[in-house]
């Protein structure tokens, strides 16, 4: 098999709004009640995918889930038309766009049976996300339905919170060799909840058949969570043999470094000191919620949001350390402001899967021509604006449902209706 990194981005859904539902996510809270721009948001996301294609990367998509989630409301004994506003906002949430929370992925070289394993995240901590997993699981089982190459698992039981790849990193010399898998869990975050549970991470490692000697369970630092790093990917990201992290990312930094250095020849830590970039600046700019990728030309590239360029401490660090003598040779800036305003940067929008693209359902793989068609669907069907006061209006509900149907028809994925 020709293993490649495939970045599956969530297409930002037509119900994208700012309800401020994610406690501990500072951007989400700060922008609660603002008027959102779903059409601009989705086009920004599609443009980010074009930028990935321009780098020579393989690009995939996940489609928005059905919104409002009428089945979830029915299980609560109500309907979208009759429910109170907090439930309506949760049922209309477009948060599945952040595909990093869709699942945890272990590539075939790491697993006992030589298949790529995916465990859908239960997202139990936040009500508006807790009802995503059935729709996400259905999508994963279509995209990765080739059971010779993939195993797709049900979620970890909800007693233990699991938020997917946003709290998981793989470090490896190359795609075809066994890697090290780092599972980052939380214990406490001051006033904010720790969303990833240790037992959920351990369960996933067992389900995926990982070598216990090559899996490490790492506690996220309380300081990071308290500062707004609700997921590990807000303070650390890995690619190939490189771990790019803030000094305050982990409760025990030395444990992480020793584990990687002992087991992986050529391991490199690129650490950003708190004295140069305060953790608040790192989180506000989403410096680490970047895509760290290696294009075919071999120049490891950091794909950052435009907010990173607008944060003086962050951009100063980038100018001094990227494209110098270190392993990260290039920086690319993308505009995902609509997603950022809800607390999701470039890395939040994608699930990284190492696999042979030929084994994936081709309807989920895109090229420039397909992105052109999807952009046209968005321009014709996505709402221009959503005011939270209008979330339960029949006209908006009709527009949101019609827009998703048009997208599924364009991708020939109407079985996900």
Can you give the three-state secondary structure of the chain, one letter per residue? Answer: CCCEEEEEEECCCCCCCCCCCCCCCHHHHHCCCCCECHHHHHHHHHHHHHHHHHCCCEEEEECCCCCCCHHHHHHCCCCCCCCCHHHHHHHHCCHHHCHHHCEEEECHHHECCCCEEEEECCCCCCHHHHCCHHHHHHHHHHHCCCCCCEEEECCCCCCCCCCHHHHEEEECCCCCCCCEEEEEECCCECCECCCCCHHHHHHHHHHCCECHHHEEEEEECHHHHHCCCCCHHHCEEEECCEEEEECCCECCHHHHHHHHHHHCCCCEEEEECCCCCCHHHHHHHCCCCCEEECCCCCCCEEEEEHHHHCCHHHHHHHHHHCCCCCCCCEEEEECCHHHHCCCCCCCCCEEEEEECHHHCCHHHEECHHHHHHHHHHHHHHCCCCECHHHCCCHHHHHHHHHHHHHHHHHHCCHHHC
Active-site residue, selected from the candidate residues 5, 163, 240, 247: 163
Say whether 131 is catalytic. Answer: no
Say whether 260 is catalytic. Answer: no
Active-site residue, selected from the candidate residues 16, 128, 231, 246: 231
Say whether 348 is catalytic. Answer: yes
Residues with a catalytic annotation lie at: 163, 231, 348
């Amino acid at each position: 098999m020709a293993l490649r990194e495939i970045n599956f981005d969530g297409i930002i859904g037509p119900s994208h709004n700012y309800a401020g539902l994610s406690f501990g996510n500072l951007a989400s809270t700060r922008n609660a009640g603002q008027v959102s721009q779903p059409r601009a948001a989705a086009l920004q996301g599609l443009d980010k995918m074009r930028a990935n294609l321009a780098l020579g990367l393989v690009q995939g998509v996940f489609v928005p889930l059905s919104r409002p989630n009428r089945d979830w409301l029915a299980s609560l004994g109500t309907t979208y038309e009759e429910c109170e506003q907090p439930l309506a906002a949760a049922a209309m949430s477009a948060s599945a766009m952040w595909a990093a929370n869709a699942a945890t992925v272990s590539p075939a070289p790491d697993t006992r049976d030589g298949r790529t394993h995916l465990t859908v995240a239960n997202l139990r901590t936040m009500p508006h996300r807790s009802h995503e997993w059935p729709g996400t699981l259905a999508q994963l089982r279509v995209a990765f339905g080739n059971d010779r190459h993939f195993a797709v698992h049900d979620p970890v039981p909800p007693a233990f919170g699991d938020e997917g790849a946003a709290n998981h990193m793989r470090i490896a010399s190359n795609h075809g060799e066994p890697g090290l898998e780092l599972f980052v869990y939380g214990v406490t975050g001051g006033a904010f909840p720790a969303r990833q549970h240790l037992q959920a991470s351990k369960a996933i490692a067992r389900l995926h058949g990982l070598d216990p000697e090559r899996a490490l369970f790492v506690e996220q630092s309380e300081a990071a969570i308290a500062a707004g790093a609700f997921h590990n990917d807000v303070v650390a990201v890995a690619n190939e043999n490189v771990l790019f992290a803030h000094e305050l990312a982990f409760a025990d930094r030395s444990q992480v470094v020793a584990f990687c250095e002992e087991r992986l020849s050529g391991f490199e830590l690129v650490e950003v000191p708190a004295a140069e970039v305060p953790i608040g600046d790192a989180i506000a700019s989403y410096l680490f919620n970047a895509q760290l990728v290696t294009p075919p030309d071999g120049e490891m590239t950091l794909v950052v949001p435009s907010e990173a360029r607008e944060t003086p401490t962050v951009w100063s660090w980038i100018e001094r350390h990227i494209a110098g003598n270190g392993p990260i040779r290039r920086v690319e800036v993308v505009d995902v402001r609509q997603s950022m305003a809800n607390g999701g940067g470039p890395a939040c929008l994608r699930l990284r899967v190492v696999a042979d693209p030929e084994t994936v359902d081709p309807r989920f793989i895109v090229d420039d021509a397909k992105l052109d068609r999807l952009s046209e669907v968005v321009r014709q069907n996505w709402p221009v604006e959503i005011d939270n006061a209008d979330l339960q209006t029949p006209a908006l509900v009709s527009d949101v449902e019609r827009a998703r149907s048009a997208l599924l028809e364009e991708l020939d994925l109407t079985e996900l209706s």
